[in-house]
Amino acid sequence: MKIKFGFILGALILIFIAAPIVCAQDDDKPAIDKFISAQAKREHGEEYPDARKVVTGDLDKDGTAETVVLYTIEGQNGSNNHVQYLAVFKRTNGKLAPLTHTPVGSKSYRDVELDSVSNGLINLTTLGYARNDPSCCPTLKGKAWYRLVRNTLQLVHRPR
């Protein structure tokens, strides 16, 4: 009986802790959508929504988590190109606002997966192109890290 009660109590605590986080992420989606949509329009392309990934973590060491988004814009001017971007959003007055963004991958450069934010770094897994790789299929596995410095994203060659 004690085990059941402990399990139920633990589950309820987890629900009450996780619920505000999920709601905040749902409330953040319109701000992220608006930012990406405006950029896609400027580039005469469109977002590939299934490729979007969102993580949170403290990048500027102020004790508040920023929201990091990896997203892809494709079909610029009718092409079959795609560009992957990292964007950082900061909460200001309870609302999510874009802070900065930078391209991190593209067709014939590298494919990128957003892994996490830890120790003030954005952690990425990459697939780069070997000499004979076709443009569809990079094969060189790698890692990349970005740091937020004065509201811009900077590539870190090897984190310490």
Write out pLDDT tens, residues 27-49: 899 999 999 999 999 999 999 99
Give the residue from 157, 145, 160 showing the smallest Cα distance to 59: 145
Query: Tell me, what amino acid is at 2?
Result: K
**Whole-number mean pLDDT of the chain?**
87
Count Cβ atoms below 10 Å from residue 104 Cβ, excluding itself: 22
Q: How confident is the model at residue 19 (pLDDT cuts 50, 70, 90)?
A: very low
Query: Does the pLDDT at position 5 exceed 80?
Result: no
Contact predicate 73/39, CB 8 Å: yes
Contact predicate 128/110, CB 8 Å: yes
CA distance 160 to 157: 10
> In this predicted model, what pLDDT tens digit does every residue of 135-152 receive, in sequence order?
889 999 999 999 999 999
> In this predicted model, what pLDDT tens digit does every residue of 106-122 receive, in sequence order?
998 999 999 999 999 99
Query: Does the pLDDT at position 71 exceed 90?
Result: yes
pLDDT of residue 1: 56
Average pLDDT over residues 117-137: 95
pLDDT of residue 22: 41
> In this predicted model, what pLDDT tens digit does every residue of 52-61 receive, in sequence order?
999 999 999 9
Token code pair at residue 82: 């795609």
Q: How confident is the model at residue 153 (pLDDT cuts 50, 70, 90)?
A: very high
SS (HEC) of the chain: CHHHHHHHHHHHHHHHHHHHHHHHHHHHHHHHHHHHHHHHHHCCCEECHHHCEEEEECCCCCCCCEEEEEEEEECHHHCCCEEEEEEEEEEECCEEEEEEEEEEEECCCEEEEEEEEECCEEEEEEEECCCCCCCCCCCEEEEEEEEEECCEEEEECCCC
Q: How confident is the model at residue 15 (pLDDT cuts 50, 70, 90)?
A: very low
pTM value?
A: 0.82
CA distance 72 to 74: 6
pLDDT of residue 159: 65
